[in-house]
């Protein structure tokens, strides 16, 4: 037997993502994790600018706000325990006053609007098909913000609702930015509060919707993060202590698979080079004044100087220079 595990084939890819391509990640905490890895890798990414959003309807709504650079309706704001929040965004987007939150959301939407103009890639991660609808307006929220449950109706989105919502948004996105490509993923994080049985129903709806969308739209692809975690890394050693979220090792594995499918050969070579530099930057010497460590810093500084015309490394250069002895 060649393998003692199920290796998920990621299929033939389109290695089109280059180092300086603009990328936006939106959706669940998995989208945040992948976006942060891109930023650490000096890629031109905007990582989950609206905070973690789990359901497709809310993700699409937030994108539409940014696409048209619209003001968020007044009735979507609320105050809870002296903090102002908005039903259409994560609680990370909050403020001590209504005006401050309004400006914060306006600035965030404006930044995404202008970034979207020439973004090459939009990566969406759907976390759950379960949604909460406000009983007073009938609107689906991104976050309940600990408002009592009796003010909401909980239900499952249907595959038809997800595909119709995405397709309408996608047409608007292409009218705004015809070169945009979309990568869909289903979050491997299980929503155990819905029970494992109903979490499975939810994930099945999301996965079926993603498949349907890739069949309808040629520039929409699916990356099997969910399948890699569930089938390839099906051991609890790849989960954090909560037994729900992937460990850093699991995220490294999925990140590598993502790169093999979508990153150009030049970008993959750069990432290996930058990974080594990051490891060197993280090195903490016992004796920083030794000749050996000072030479190590000079060599590292030379490597950074060679990259400064390729990616912004001013912060790293200043950090190394601060450790060099006069």
Q: In which order are the strands placed within the sheet that holds 220-222?
A: 44-47, 22-27, 121-126, 181-186, 220-222
Please tell me the pTM assigned to this model.
Answer: 0.92
User: Mean pLDDT throughout 174-195?
Assistant: 93
Rounded to whole angstroms, the Cα distance separating 29 from 20 reads 24
Per-residue exposure over 184-195, b if at least 16 CB sit within 10 Å of its own CB, e if not = bbbbbbbbeebe
Distance CA 285, CA 79 (A): 49
Q: Within 10 A of 138 (CB to CB), how many other CB atoms are there?
A: 8
With 90 as the cut, is the pLDDT of residue 243 above it?
Answer: no
Residue 144: how many CA atoms within 13 Å on its side-chain side?
15
What is the mean pLDDT of the segment spanning 64-81?
95
Token couple for 190: 């299980």
Rounded-to-integer distance, Cα 325 and Cα 292, Å: 12
Q: For 134-164, what is each residue's pLDDT tens digit? A: 999 999 999 999 999 999 999 999 999 999 9
Reply yes or no on whether the pLDDT at 183 is more than 80. yes
Q: For 23-47, write each residue's pLDDT tens digit.
A: 999 999 888 899 999 999 999 999 9
State how far the Cα of 31 lies from the Cα of 74, in Å rounded to an integer.
28
The rounded distance, in Å, linking the Cα atoms of 188 and 31 is: 11
Gap between the Cα atoms of 118 and 121, Å rounded: 9
* Among 147, 150, 152, residue whose Cα is nearest residue 78: 147
61: CB partners within 8 A, 6+ apart: 88, 140, 142
- What is the rounded distance in angstroms from the CA atom of residue 48 to the CA atom of residue 35? 7
- Rounded to an integer, the average pLDDT of 58-81 is 95
Distance from C-alpha of 123 to C-alpha of 283, rounded to nearest angstrom: 33
Residue 282 neighbours by CB under 8 Å, 6+ apart: none
Q: End-to-end alpha-carbon separation of the chain, Å?
A: 60
pLDDT value, residue 158 = 97
Phi, psi of 178 (to 5 degrees): -65, -20
Closest CA to 311 of 274, 262, 268: 274
**Most distant pair of Cα atoms in the chain: their distance:** 70
- Looking at residue 242, its pLDDT comes to 83
Cβ pair 226, 186 in contact under 8 A: yes
Averaged pLDDT, 243-265: 89
Task: Return d(Cα 93, Cα 49) in angstroms, integer.
Answer: 9
Q: Is 217 left (phi over 0), alpha (psi -120 to 50) or beta?
A: beta
In the three-class reduction of DSSP (H, G, I as helix; E, B as strand; rest coil), residue 121 is classed as strand
């Amino acid at each position: 037997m060649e393998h003692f595990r199920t290796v998920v084939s990621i299929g033939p890819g389109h290695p089109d993502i280059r180092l300086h391509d603009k990328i936006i990640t939106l959706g669940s905490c998995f989208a945040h994790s992948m976006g942060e890895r891109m930023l650490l890798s000096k890629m031109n990414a905007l990582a989950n600018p609206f905070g973690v959003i789990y359901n497709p309807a809310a993700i699409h709504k937030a994108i539409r706000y940014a696409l048209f650079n619209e003001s968020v309706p007044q009735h979507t704001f609320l105050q809870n325990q002296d903090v102002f929040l908005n039903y259409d965004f994560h609680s990370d987007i909050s403020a001590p006053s209504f005006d401050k939150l309004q400006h914060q959301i306006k600035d965030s939407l404006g930044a995404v609007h202008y970034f979207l103009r020439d973004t090459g890639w939009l990566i969406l991660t759907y976390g759950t098909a379960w949604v909460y609808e406000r009983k007073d307006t009938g609107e689906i929220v991104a976050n309940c913000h600990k408002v009592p449950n009796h003010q909401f109706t909980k239900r499952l989105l249907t595959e038809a609702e997800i595909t119709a919502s995405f397709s309408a948004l996608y047409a608007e996105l292409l009218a705004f930015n015809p070169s945009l490509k979309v990568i869909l993923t289903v979050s491997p994080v299980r929503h155990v509060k819905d029970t494992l049985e109903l979490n499975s129903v939810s994930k099945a709806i999301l996965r079926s919707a993603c498949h349907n969308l890739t069949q309808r739209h040629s520039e929409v692809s699916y990356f099997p993060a969910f399948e890699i975690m569930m089938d390839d890394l099906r051991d609890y050693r790849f989960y954090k202590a909560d037994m729900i979220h992937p460990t850093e090792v699991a995220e490294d594995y999925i990140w590598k698979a993502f790169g093999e499918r979508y990153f150009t050969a030049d970008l993959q070579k750069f990432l290996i080079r930058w990974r080594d530099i990051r490891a060197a930057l993280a090195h903490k010497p016992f004796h920083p004044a030794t000749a050996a460590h000072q030479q190590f810093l000079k060599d590292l500084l030379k490597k950074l100087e060679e990259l400064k015309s390729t990616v912004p490394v001013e912060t790293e250069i200043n950090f190394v220079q601060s450790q060099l002895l006069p």
